Structure 1
């Protein structure tokens, strides 16, 4: 919607967005063109009843938009693989708790036991393992990085696909971006980037821009500019 008409929200007082990672360029466009609009970034899995955390967006953003702090009667923890709390700045799995946590999955006891667990902090509290990678920032807000299962290992380096996508979206002119790992004929994994842009962009130009922000092993081997990114009926890639 923002890409088509960034002034579409001019008659609204508050806009709460969620369901996917926010694009900084798109959010900044809305902020610039709708000065009276209050923007809120919401995060939360269905298993915790819509939103678990929210963040009020103040002005234009220069980096990843935080997902904020837990809403009323909700909790959030960042833990390592041993379910120990992570310190500020350290990445780990995001676990959410509170009044909104579901009882479990219908007729799926094994998955329920895996995903719905006892709180690592509060006795008697039930929590949900989101499978999302996050960290606490120094200002007390949570930063989302992507799905844990979206981590790939290439040439011995562990890479977050979402981090590469975020940097690609910051390249001037890029509108949408998707980065995936594919195997070549020799079975070696390589990063492939698919993107849409406001005009024709040269691969060398895009690669150069990413190389200034990312280490070499995180720069995709292949770039494909598309007219549009194909989406499912639910809006997922």
Structure 2
């Protein structure tokens, strides 16, 4: 059908990948965007063997509803496959900030697991008619002097030694 951008959960893409890899006529895809669940990079090996990592470009995005879907962006390459990456989630989208914090709201060190917190302009104001839930999930940003808030995602991640954040 001439599709150029495919936005797919990793588990659904896993079902499509054998068909795409067996197709001899090529395809019009420029990007495959993953979201909605953790990406197992190792499962992409057949794709990389068939198409390489440049065209189409594979992109992993982490997101939550409280930011109108996406928070981060990470092009996935064969280097991620070779580095034994689990689910690298990349860089924060420009209208957001994110922190990987411990239970005392302190930043965690590289190699350590923490909870992801998201803030800034792309963050929702709270939950409609759910003040109690809003108060527990949207907290004061301890790194801001301007009354900013952070959202407690409940998601765990860790900083790798190279600075990449991996979804746990």
For the aligned pair, the TM-score class normalised by the smaller chain equals: 0.7 to 0.9
**Aligned-residue CA RMSD (Å):** 1.9
Q: CA deviation at 1:11?
A: 1.8
- Unmatched 5+ stretches in structure 1: 146-237
The match for 2:164 among 129, 132, 141 is: 141
The answer as to 2:38 corresponding to 1:16 is no
Higher helix residue share: 2
The answer as to 2:77 corresponding to 1:58 is yes
Could you tell me the TM-score, scaled by structure 1's length?
0.57
Could you tell me the TM-score, scaled by structure 2's length?
0.78
The match for 1:100 among 119, 122, 137 is: 122
Q: CA deviation at 1:32?
A: 2.2
Instruction: Tell me what 2:152 maps to.
Output: 129
- Unmatched 5+ stretches in structure 2: 1-12
Q: Which protein has greater RCO, CA pairs closer than 8 Å, 6+ apart?
A: 2
8 Å contact kept, 1:6–1:29: no
Q: Which has the larger radius of gyration?
A: 1
The answer as to 2:59 corresponding to 1:37 is no
8 Å contact kept, 1:94–1:131: yes
In the alignment of these two chains, the number of paired residues is 145
